[in-house]
Amino acid sequence: MFPLDECLSPHVAMAQRDHVRLDWREPQRALERVQSRGWTCACRATVYELCEGGGQAFIRRTLQLETGHQIHETHRWSITEARATWTGLLSGRAR
Ligand SMILES: [Zn+2]
């Protein structure tokens, strides 16, 4: 799929052969208010979101299916670690 002219958010790069495999889990009930610090373009079936709250952060993955949205999340990291993983995800070094 080609990026559309009106796409404002980033698209994830194709995963590299030796990419880090993230552990995707069922979403947890957030104890703290969570804010989105970054997100990928919704023109793709899979949308990733960097969520921060309570001094921790994680990545949320939403699969946009015709039957509804399927949501998974990584475990919680420090904000610094989560941002590094987010950069890796966008560049194809993590998925
Ligand atoms: Zn797009």
For the chain, which residues make up each domain, given as ranges? 35-91
pLDDT confidence of residue 2: 60
Tokens of 14: 């194709």
Q: Which three-class secondary structure state does DSSP give residue 86? A: helix
CA of 34 to the centre of ligand 1 (A): 24
Instruction: Give every CB contact of residue 1 below 8 A, 6+ residues apart in sequence.
Output: 43, 44
CA–CA separation, 64 vs 85, rounded Å?
22
**Cα(8) to centroid(ligand 1), Å:** 7
State the DSSP H helix or E strand holding residue 52, giving kind and residue range, or none if neither. strand 46-53
Query: What's residue 64's pLDDT?
Result: 95
6 alpha carbon to ligand 1 midpoint, in Å? 7
Structure tokens at 6: 């009106």
Cα–ligand 1 centroid distance for 39 (angstroms): 11
- Give the Å distance between the CA of 2 and the centre of ligand 1: 8
pLDDT digits (tens, 9 = 90+) for 20-69: 999 999 998 766 789 999 999 999 999 999 999 999 999 999 999 999 99
